[in-house]
A and B are shown apart, each in its own frame.
Chain A
Amino acid sequence: MNFWNVRSSAAPAVVTEEHTYTYLELSEAIQERKKNYHSDEKQFVLILCESRYDVMVAYLAALQAGHAVMLLNHDLNEDLLKEIIHNYKPCWMYGEGPFPGYDQQDGLLWKRESQIQAAVHPNLALLLSTSGTTGSRKFVRLSYQNIQSNAESIAEYLQIDSSERGVANLPLSYSYGLSIVNSHLQAGATVLLTNESIISKSFWAFFQEQRATSFAGVPFTYQMLQRIGFFKMELPYLRQFTQAGGRLDERLVKQFGDYAIKHKKRFYVMYGQTEASPRMAYIPAEKVIEKAGTIGIPIPGGELAIDRETNELLYKGPNVMMGYAECIEDLAKGDELNGVLYTGDTAEKDAGGFYTITGRTKRFVKLFGLRINLDEVEKRLEQEIHLPVACSGTDDKMIIVIETELEKVNNMVKHYIEDTYKLHKSAYRIHTVDSIPRMSNGKTDYMAIKDGFQ
């Protein structure tokens, strides 16, 4: 059975701070919401996500109705949202309106005033941004089979059964956060919904009160957990915790792995990309110390391989996306990848079959678990300030170098990055220089920038 066709049992499906909803209640709420999604043809729904029950209902009802769904975070930059609505013209919008060109249909559901004829591919289920809130207009096209197969695979290797009570503490519009919800529904388990951050007291009160058995985190989550003294917390109900969304420092992998072993819990370090719905690899919990620093082995149903010429890591499996979308016409496209994904990461494989990432073929950094394309930042900044710009950096910090004598440009760029990418200043550095480092062939010397402007 598909995870979106939820069962009708008395077991708890979703728990919020205020209420516990059974699978039967969830199923009925979905039926009710589905009535609003009536259309003779397949359409697509744009949902502005917060970690709320009604948002989950809106999402699952759209899948059940056979429509496609685009998930975006509710705090998305307003101009960007406008542009996305203009480019993709969703039939329905779900969120705090009003939205120009849309009539209120029912509560938070808004319907487009003028219907347009746009073909949506029969297999298309989900459109997710490649970089969360950070301003990309490019979306990953995932099929029903993509998300279903990944939910099954995740439930299997994380050993999620109906007794699990996992906290969905990451945004639903983020492929990792959504995969927690999907895999728990698949297993008939309970999803604990909260918008609180792991550094607030109310989060841990909710966590204990609801006897949460798992949580998830990107590398920054684990840095925070270490700082707030996670190792000293008494968490008797916790069974497992997972990490994805970028490389976690090996020292932290070992510390959290040690903690897990000592307290008889399971710690999973995982690897994925939104393009793979998102999970591709994981380290089995019992190997996390021995294999710290690797991305592990392929998930059930998937295969990894390394391109002999380029060393690029390839993934093959039923969860590989159909392709990308950049405009409404792309929604009609079918599967363009045939189950094979070029990850953009280079890797090597050890004798035990574990893979380690060695580098990247594409120019991007992952800040707070979100992917930022350095070439795109460069291009957009140059359009904005009309000065030569070069971006480099690591997953800890993006470095922006601008060729100018004007000190005040620094501030302009800072404001632009803040507005567009919603990044905290600790995530990037801006330098103004007389000339951007270049190699003898005239190309930007990104290595010199990375090493020279830490």
Chain B
Amino acid sequence: MCKGVVKLNEQKLKLIFSEALEIDPEIINDELAYNSIAEWDSIAHMALVAEIDDQFDIMLDTDDVLDMSSFSKAKEILTKYDITFE
């Protein structure tokens, strides 16, 4: 896959996070973790999962939904679904 798409995936994921968690994209980095900010609660998490499913056209597994505890973890999980990041 060309580098441009790889970069786009990161941006796309950031946008999904910022939309689903209703937060400023600026504060999203690899360390951003579930329950570390008030906005990322269980309700927002489910919105996030739904949005990721939708936008990347996949269906995250049970373990992956439970495991997706940070932004970097989300990228790691998504690579299992053939979505690549830098």
Contact = CB atoms under 8 A, between A and B. Distances in A.
Nearest to B21: A424
B66 A223 contact: no
B46 A227 contact: yes
Given A227-B46, A227-B49, A424-B44, A200 B34 contact: yes
A425 B42 CA distance: 13
A427 B42 CA distance: 13
A201 B47 CA distance: 18
A428 interface: no
B5 to A, nearest CB: 28
B61 interface: yes
A223 B66 CA distance: 15
Contacts of A233: 62
Interface string A216-236: 000010011001110011000
B41 interface: yes
Determine chain B's interface SS by DSSP, over half rule: helix
A229 B61 contact: yes
Contacts of B74: none
Interface in B31-61: 34-35, 38, 41-47, 49-50, 61
A199 interface: yes
Contacts of B67: 201
B22 interface: yes
Nearest to B47: A426
A190 to B, nearest CB: 24
A197 B41 CA distance: 9
Contacts, number: 47
B49 A201 contact: no
B43 A368 contact: yes
Contacts of B34: 200
A418 interface: yes
A75 B41 CA distance: 13
Contacts of B70: none
Interface in A417-436: 418, 424-427
A446 interface: no
Contacts of A426: 43, 47
A312 B68 CA distance: 45
A201 B69 CA distance: 9
Nearest to B61: A229
Interface of B: 22, 34-35, 38, 41-47, 49-50, 61-62, 65-67, 69
5 contacts: A200-B69, A223-B46, A228-B65, A229-B65, A424-B22
Given A425-B22, A426-B43, 11 more contacts: A197-B45, A199-B45, A199-B46, A201-B69, A227-B50, A227-B65, A228-B62, A229-B61, A232-B62, A233-B62, A424-B43
Minimum-distance CB pairs A-B, first 7 = A229-B62, A197-B42, A201-B66, A424-B43, A228-B65, A228-B62, A199-B42
